[in-house]
Structure 1
């Protein structure tokens, strides 16, 4: 009897109970918002919350699923913002900083441990005394292809272990004071005249091996070249004459410049054949016009 009463009660209540819609079973994919699929998936729920049958609570849950760990690495902002920290704007790797073709017009702040700095083909116009004052670890600076017209006094004075300084393809009219440990100095393709080089600019650079001053406006060979010099490029200048003391020592006929292996003087108006005593100390003759 009791069972019959329960069955009758269910029969009477059945019309009052609205059948629930069938539950659609879908596979669940967890997407990362930083990926393309994740962005499309998130946009689907944001733009079509009703069509997706997602209420506010569900949307919140989805956001939690997509939320990245706060400690995770974030993608760097656009490099169009020149005020960004240097290692977001440029590339920093094991003591090297690469800021090539970034349209920067000043030397950016560098990490303290920077040893090699490359900022080629930018729009830098001036090197100030403060740009490198706190970076004693610098060994190489390459500023090729900028618009540098001025270098303040002492700009490189604190770079005690700087080995290579590359200033080619700029607009320099004079050579700054150079660090004593320099082995390579390249100022090719500038506007440097002889008056822009002090008489003792290279004399105390006892490690200087490679000096590149081609395609400038020099009227004479720089004076007091160090004994350590091996390669000297002076082609395509306005050099008109050479003296017996330019490379050798007129008062010492036994003197030999042991290290010098290459001197390039082609594309200058000087006729080298007029100065036969100027090359007696050299192991090989300079390249250039002799007639």
Structure 2
């Protein structure tokens, strides 16, 4: 019992000793340590962006994706785009097509990273574009500000330290508390404050050498010489003269010892430091309360970020008058704007991107010279308005023009006469057809590579397509025929999308595209095809035939292709065992990487699957397959040569217990085999 009491007594003494030591720690050192911790926690990790900005790393855990940099140097890691790896292929893209992504008419390399807008970062991942918004880390401070050009806020004291580095004399005195306008407490002893430093080249005024009455009526005493002590020596080395030390500083208070005087001085020093900090924070707030020079005054609902003014969904009835030559991007989407006067953009001569989508703009409401002053405009978005014709006198610098979901009734020969640099043209969701589109309408578009004409009323492929066209989108039209002359002048065409039309295989001319050397992707989904079309292009890599009525793949239909078909999607058709044989895939055995035969009427595994040495992905789910023989998918003798990674067999009539142990021996991981659920019958 005595031992326990003695042990508790020792612990109590130790605790009191530690507490006393901590209590004696100066408040200045404690505050300094706290500020250091705040600095470390409030400075997010940044990595330089290729466009000159910074990429903020996300606060949440992220998958590390290897990315090849634009200068073809060593690989780095990008901490974002969670779950971007391992995504199964879709029908609408050409997976791993030369490792590229096509974004608004521009080609991005695989694993390329770019920032289309401030605070947004995109990644090209195997033909798919993944974009992330910058995620800001939570801040431990109460006061936060967002510096110009940044996406995330930082603590105000962090900004104040950066601002103090390059400020002039007047600003420095404002933050340090040495301004002559500051009123000293009358009841406290004067403290020797560090005098302001004089910048090189600063002109000395005569009033600095004489007493000067400030605005509050107090008079500064004249400088007084003193012995060259430590403080005075510091001033002799260029710091200038300080204020006169009062008698309270020269002698301790009567009736009190030196120790009491030191304690009082320490307390007063801490109070004055707190006052200095409060003044410093107040000065920082004042700095950010006053808008910097050149920042335009914006209407309610608008915001400024870097060189972009955003007024999306701001309930605007007209284009606000803004004068800001430094602005390069203006967003006015989702308002109630009905007209564009001639002088609408006179204060924004350097605009490069203009978004006027989802308004109520009419053709009669656009002035004839509305866009004439925009000599640097490259991207113009007028989607979702009430335009009946192409606006006149568009800037010749345009590279992208979007007029989707309007009410366009015609395109004349001169509609695009000056747009020689146009790369992307989107005209989806209008009332265009071969009747009201002049065959010479696209003649001037010498640089056009990306053309969207979907959701219109075309019955044939439009004539007069530019020779530079690389991608053509004609989905959701009424096209019934593909003639021999459709693509005679488009030798560079690479992608043709014709899904949701009325095309039959016997209405495709034998010479329509068979001799195309660059055509790699064709999408004929949801048409009226009964067989896989013959006379497909020699260069074809990607063929999408989803949602037709195909019941047969003719023999040798892929035999003439070089280097060979890689992606074949035949989901949601009527394929049965009688429509497939070994010669159906002849010419593609060495090249097929993905084969989708799901949602058909197959009762067994198609012949020749085990001979497809390059096959990575096989879908046979939602058929009527009942059993799997050992040699139908994997060849026991050549297991090491198989590349198969994903196999889908769910929603068939397979008895899983009856599957041979050798049936899937060539597949690297059994977790990539999907067998459940199965129908019971």
Whole-angstrom CA distance in 1 between matches of 2:346 and 2:415: 21
2:412 maps to 198
Name the TM-score, length of structure 1 as normaliser: 0.63
Compute the displacement of 1:152 (Å). 1.6
- Say which of 428, 447, 453 aligns to 1:234: 453
1:127 maps to 340
2:380 maps to 165
1:186 maps to 402
Whole-angstrom CA distance in 2 between matches of 1:130 and 1:181: 19
Asked if the contact 1:279/1:285 (under 8 Å) is kept, the reply is no
Q: 1:44-71 deviations in whole A, cap 9, x for unaligned?
A: xxxxxxxxxxxxxxxxxxxxxxxx8896
1:97 maps to 309
- Say which of 368, 378, 381 aligns to 1:153: 368
Is 2:433 the partner of 1:219? yes
Whole-angstrom CA distance in 1 between matches of 2:403 and 2:308: 22
Can you give the 5+ residue segments of structure 1 that lack an aligned partner in the other structure? 1-67, 77-83, 249-256
Compute the displacement of 1:147 (Å). 1.4
1:246 maps to 464
Whole-angstrom CA distance in 1 between matches of 2:485 and 2:460: 13
User: Which structure would you say has the larger RCO, counting Cα contacts within 8 Å and 6 or more residues apart?
Assistant: 1
What is the correspondence of 1:26-45 to structure 2 with a 5 Å cutoff? none
2:330 maps to 117
The Cα RMSD (Å) is 2.9
Compute the displacement of 1:166 (Å). 0.4
For structure 1, which segment, 229-238 or 142-151, has the greater mean C-alpha deviation from structure 2 after superposition? 142-151
Compute the displacement of 1:127 (Å). 1.0
Q: 1:153-199 deviations in whole A, cap 9, x for unaligned?
A: 111011111000001111111111211010000011111111xx331
Whole-angstrom CA distance in 2 between matches of 1:246 and 1:166: 24
Change (3 A) 1:156 1:126: same
Whole-angstrom CA distance in 1 between matches of 2:495 and 2:384: 28
2:424 maps to 210
Q: 1:79-119 deviations in whole A, cap 9, x for unaligned?
A: xxxxx941664112332101111101111122232210011
Whole-angstrom CA distance in 2 between matches of 1:104 and 1:285: 40
Compute the displacement of 1:204 (Å). 2.5
- Say which of 269, 276, 279 aligns to 2:487: 279
Change (3 A) 1:203 1:271: farther
Can you give the 5+ residue segments of structure 2 that lack an aligned partner in the other structure? 1-281, 505-681
Q: How many residues align?
A: 207
Three-state SS of the structure 1 residue aligned to 2:496 is coil
Whole-angstrom CA distance in 1 between matches of 2:290 and 2:346: 31
Compute the displacement of 1:231 (Å). 0.6
Is 2:374 the partner of 1:174? no
Whole-angstrom CA distance in 2 between matches of 1:90 and 1:189: 25
Whole-angstrom CA distance in 2 between matches of 1:75 and 1:160: 32
Change (3 A) 1:75 1:100: farther
Asked if the contact 2:321/2:347 (under 8 Å) is kept, the reply is no
